[in-house]
Amino acid sequence: MFESLFRGYQYLYIVKEGFTMSTVKWNGRNLIKTIAENEAAATRLYRAIASEARLGEQFFEMLAMDEEKHEKIYNALFDKFSGKMELELEASDAEYVDLLVESNVLFDDELVQKAKKIFTKSQIFDLAERAERDAILFVTELQRLYPNMAQEEMAIILKEEQAHLKKVLERKKESQPMFGRGM
C-alpha cells in the first residue's frame, strides 16, 4: 500500500486478491451544506411562485414550508456533525459526489423574480420537478454515505421529498392540454 496526492485527495491504494482499489479520505461537509442551500433556494422559489395565485398559492406555500423545515434540519445536522464527516470512499465515488455538489445549480434571486413574472405553468412545474428530483438525489446520497446520521429525520425528509415530486408531477400533468399528453 502506498500514498499519493491527486486533486486534493489523499489516495490509498489497496491491493486485495489481485484487485487494486484506490480510496480517498473524503469529507461530506460540502454535501450537507449544499443540501441546506438547495432547501433555502427552493423555499424562496416556492414562496415567489405562491405569490402568483394563478399557479396555486396554497400548493407552493405548503412546499415552501416543508423546504424551510428541511433547511433547518440540515443546518442543525451540519452544526452537529461537521467535525465528524470525514470518511474513506472509493476515489471514483468521491469524485462523483464532488461533481454533484460542484455542478449543483441553485435557484438564484434573478431566476426567482423571472419565475414570478414570465414563466408559464409548465416551466414553473419543470423548475419544481428539478428541485424535488435534486432533493431526492442529494438526500439519498447523504443517507448512503452516512447511514447512521439522523436516520429517522432522513427517512421522513426523503418521504416528504418523494411526496412533493409526486404532487408536482401530478399538477404538471393536469396542467398540460389533453393533446400534449402521451397515451
- Tell me if 19 is assigned to some domain: no
- Tell me if 68 is assigned to some domain: yes
- Tell me if 4 is assigned to some domain: no
Contacts of 161 (CB under 8 A, 6+ apart): 70, 132, 135, 136, 139
- Tell me if 20 is assigned to some domain: no
Interatomic CA distance for residues 42 and 48, integer angstroms: 10
**How many domains does one find in the chain?**
1
pLDDT of residue 38 exceeding 50: yes
Mean pLDDT of the 28-35 span: 95
Kindly report, residue by residue over 66-105, the tens digit of the pLDDT: 999 999 999 999 999 989 999 999 999 999 999 999 998 7
Contacts of 145 (CB under 8 A, 6+ apart): 28, 31, 87, 89, 97
Contacts of 54 (CB under 8 A, 6+ apart): 121
- Tell me if 43 is assigned to some domain: yes
165, 136 Cβ separation under 8 angstroms? yes
Q: Is 150 left (phi over 0), alpha (psi -120 to 50) or beta?
A: left
CA angle 82–83–86, rounded 5-degree value:
90
- Tell me if 1 is assigned to some domain: no
- Tell me if 11 is assigned to some domain: no
- Tell me if 166 is assigned to some domain: yes
Q: Which domain holds residue 130?
A: 27-175
Within a 10 A sphere around the Cβ of 54, how many other Cβ atoms?
Answer: 8
What CATH number is attached to the domain comprising 37?
1.20.1260.10
Mean pLDDT of the 31-38 span: 95
pLDDT bin (cut points 50, 70, 90) of residue 174 is confident
In 3-state terms, what secondary structure has residue 74?
helix
Partnered with residue 87 across adjacent β-strands are 26
Kindly report, residue by residue over 125-147, the tens digit of the pLDDT: 888 999 999 999 999 999 999 99
Q: In this structure, what DSSP letter does residue 118 have?
A: T
